[in-house]
């Protein structure tokens, strides 16, 4: 099977031109097929503020009313996505910027209201693997913005980590997939304040323990849940690292849980 | 050769949800291959205002400074483009929203400063016909936002009428292309105030005469220039009409100029 690297970049790195430029340069040097997934929440918050729209968050997830949906569609699918595409083209990557609505790439369902009404937020139902396969085989580099659609004409704001994880899972049947979540920190840290306390590898059991003791919290929880889902679904390698380590092999490696490993060995 | 219809929609029609919905429904009923090109200038102006950015125009063309470029990228490539794509998907059209940077679809050059510095405005240099051909043959419906790139990482604001015309010209080699410019009015009017004064057909000579007498002016001039360029380059049919007549065959038909016609007959 061919190698496919999926890089998900969020936080500061997609908003600070110099950081983004360096990341895209490193990304361009990765061999084999590639997909880039980006966030952009902070910039969306800033532009929403300027437009007089208040951003509401719950456990690191944005509550998306109709006006906020317009802002994230503008910022993610427009401003950030197209700037990344243009910069990749300058690096000789034949990039194509897409949301889940384009080519019906990612169908999602508006999140049902339980305790909290997240508004126009989508939970991914289906990823169009054949279309992505075709693009990759034609040597295009998909650049995915975290917006999906419900198939009835409604765009939905969707967590970028989840999008990266779902794409990795859907393509694990046709590629050796390596999924790299990159952000500001050097990996999952044992001590938030110590950049040298990177946990080199982590399995599900350890994750649960770290969660209980509060070492892993907030936005890291859904990130790691996406990572474990991907590993369990056959993604070869999942790494959480910082943007400047996209090519160095440093960071936190996600390890399949023991039971799952044994099951696979038995088969 | 297969039939290809390119619809360019601008003005109110892309900003008023009910008008847009009706147009997209009509568009979905057009047989054969299809491309949709959209503008969105008024919405961009409104959002720029809210963000405290002043819009400067010269002869119907926007002067695009760095901040304005961000706004048009957000509004055209994000908000408008992705909403159209999602609505088309709901109408069973497999739409894909693109700018000129995506798939290197449209390479342009920053307009040189003569009398006026238009800022980040691009004049189209090259249209990637093979990639568009491939998408059309796979039954995708490209939805094109009026943003291009220079190949060096810079996005450029580009007139949507020009984009539609350039695409029509580039695809005239492989399709029977019909190019429909639609806007608020029923066609090119002899009397601005009389919706029933539609000029049924117009050739270059008549265009020049109407221009001299001031019957055709402002934004209609570049629109018609694009139309005549397209006809001269082998586009089969160019029509200027209103959004609700996209499927009725009504409007102003652009007729090749006499000399050109004779030249073709001689060959």
- Please state, in angstroms and rounded to a whole number, the distance separating the CA atoms of residues A207 and A186: 17
User: What mean pLDDT comes out for the span A18-41?
Assistant: 96
pLDDT at site B267: 43
- Please state, in angstroms and rounded to a whole number, the distance separating the CA atoms of residues A122 and A104: 14
pLDDT at site A62: 75
Alpha helix (H) residue ranges in chain A: 17-29, 41-50, 66-72, 81-90, 129-137, 160-171, 204-212, 220-232, 258-266
Q: Do A89 and B51 touch (CB under 8 A)?
A: no
Residue from the list A85, A102, A155 with its beta carbon closest to the beta carbon of B101: A85
pLDDT at site B10: 87
B5 three-class SS: strand
Q: Which residues of A52-88 are buried (b: 16+ CB within 10 A; e: fewer)?
A: ebebeeeeebbbbbeebbbbbbbbbbbbbbbbbbbbb
Instruction: Return the closest-CA partner of residue B251 out of B193, B182, B176.
Output: B182
ipTM of model: 0.93
Total domains in the fold of chain B? 1
In this prediction the pTM is: 0.94
The pLDDT of residue B175 is above 50: yes
User: CA of A4 to nearest chain B CA: how many angstroms apart?
Assistant: 19
Distance between alpha carbon A206 and the CA centroid of its chain, in Å?
A: 22
Q: Can you give the CATH number for the domain in which A113 is found?
A: 3.40.1160.10
Q: pLDDT tens for residues A127-178? A: 999 999 999 999 999 999 999 999 999 999 999 999 999 999 999 999 999 9
Instruction: Return the closest-CA partner of residue B100 out of B128, B134, B81, B121.
Output: B128
pLDDT at site B257: 67
Q: What is the mean pLDDT of chain B?
A: 92
Q: pLDDT tens for residues B90-132? A: 999 999 999 999 999 999 999 999 888 999 999 999 999 999 9
The pLDDT of residue B27 is above 90: yes
User: What mean pLDDT comes out for the span B182-198?
Assistant: 91
- Please state, in angstroms and rounded to a whole number, the distance separating the CA atoms of residues B146 and B64: 13
Q: Which residues of A touch B90 (CB under 8 A)?
A: 151-153
User: Which domain, by its residues, includes A163?
Assistant: 2-266
pLDDT at site B84: 98
B130 three-class SS: helix
Residues contacting residue B85 through CB under 8 Å, at least 6 positions apart: A99, A101, A102, A149, B95, B96, B97, B143
Task: Supply the DSSP symbol for B173.
Answer: T
Instruction: Return the closest-CA partner of residue A163 out of A88, A222, A114, A208.
Output: A222
Chain A contact for B82, CB < 8 A? Answer: yes
Chain B contact for A105, CB < 8 A? Answer: no
Reading the block at residue B204, the tokens are: 């270059």
Mutation pick from A82, A87, A135 vs chain B, by most beta carbons of B within 10 Å, is A82
- The residue of chain A with its CA nearest to that of B77 is A78
Lowest mean pLDDT among A5-19, B87-101, B252-266: B252-266
């Amino acid at each position: 099977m061919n190698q496919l690297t999926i890089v998900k970049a969020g936080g500061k790195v997609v908003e600070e031109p110099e950081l983004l430029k360096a990341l895209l340069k490193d990304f361009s040097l990765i061999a084999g097929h590639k997909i880039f997934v980006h966030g952009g929440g902070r910039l969306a918050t800033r532009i929403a503020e300027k437009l007089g729209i208040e951003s509401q968050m719950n456990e690191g997830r944005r509550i998306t009313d109709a006006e906020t949906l317009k802002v994230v569609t503008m910022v993610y699918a427009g401003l950030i996505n197209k700037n990344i595409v243009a910069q990749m083209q300058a690096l000789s990557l034949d990039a194509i910027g897409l949301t889940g609505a384009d080519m019906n790439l990612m169908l999602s369902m508006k999140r049902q209201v339980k305790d909290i009404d997240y508004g126009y937020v989508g939970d991914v139902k289906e990823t169009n693997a054949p279309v992505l396969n075709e693009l990759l085989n034609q040597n295009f580099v998909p650049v995915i913005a975290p917006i999906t659609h419900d198939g009835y004409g409604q765009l939905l704001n969707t967590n970028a980590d989840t999008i990266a994880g779902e794409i990795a899972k859907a393509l694990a049947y046709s590629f050796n997939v390596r999924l790299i979540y990159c952000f500001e920190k050097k990996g999952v840290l044992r001590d938030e304040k110590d950049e040298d306390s990177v946990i080199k590898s982590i399995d599900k059991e350890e994750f649960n323990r770290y969660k209980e003791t509060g070492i892993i919290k907030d936005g890291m929880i859904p990130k790691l849940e996406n990572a474990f889902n991907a590993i369990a679904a056959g993604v070869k390698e999942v790494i959480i690292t910082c943007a400047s380590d996209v090519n160095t092999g440093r960071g936190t490696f996600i390890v399949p849980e023991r039971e799952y490993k044994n099951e696979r060995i038995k088969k």
